[in-house]
Structure 1
Amino acid sequence: MAGDRLACRECHAVVEPDEDTCPICGSTSLTEDWAGYVIVGHPDESQIAEEMEVNKPGKYALKVR
């Protein structure tokens, strides 16, 4: 876990601890139980983004429990 940030259980976006909903997908299912993250700048050019099914730039957790 990186600091006290949260991760979305639906899309794996990393969000600030004061967020109630995910800014990427709108889910309210957020957790403190996550590990590692990747920053995606250009999802249309990223193999990792393709593997993770990410289509918006941002920070994404690699493992969410």
Structure 2
Amino acid sequence: MASNRLACHDCHRIVEPDENVCPHCGSNDLTEDWAGYVVITHPESSEIAEKMEVTESGEYALKVR
């Protein structure tokens, strides 16, 4: 995980630093100010995915400021 990657304020997805819009939800509210990193592979059976309201596999920030 590169520290300069961005997190989406809306869906918490981790995106590449050259992105201007989240390719997953379309939000342009991206930030470098995030903490925690989780990879969700099977959201249908993940307690973390349920708590985060995640329905798709991917890389997510646990906390986005």
The gaps in structure 1 that reach 5 residues or longer are none
Partner of 2:47: 47
Identical aligned residues as a percent: 66
SS of 1:50's partner is helix
User: Structure 1 length normalisation: TM-score?
Assistant: 0.92
Letter in 2 for 1:56: E
Q: Which runs of 4+ in 1 moved over 2 A?
A: none
Letter in 2 for 1:16: E
User: Structure 2 length normalisation: TM-score?
Assistant: 0.92
Instruction: Tell me by how many angstroms 1:35 deviates.
Output: 0.5
Count of aligned pairs:
64
Q: What is the root-mean-square deviation in Å for CA atoms of aligned residues?
A: 0.9
Letter in 1 for 2:30: L
SS of 2:56's partner is coil
- What aligned pairs does 1:1-65 form with structure 2 within 5 A after superposition? 2-65=2-65
SS of 1:63's partner is strand
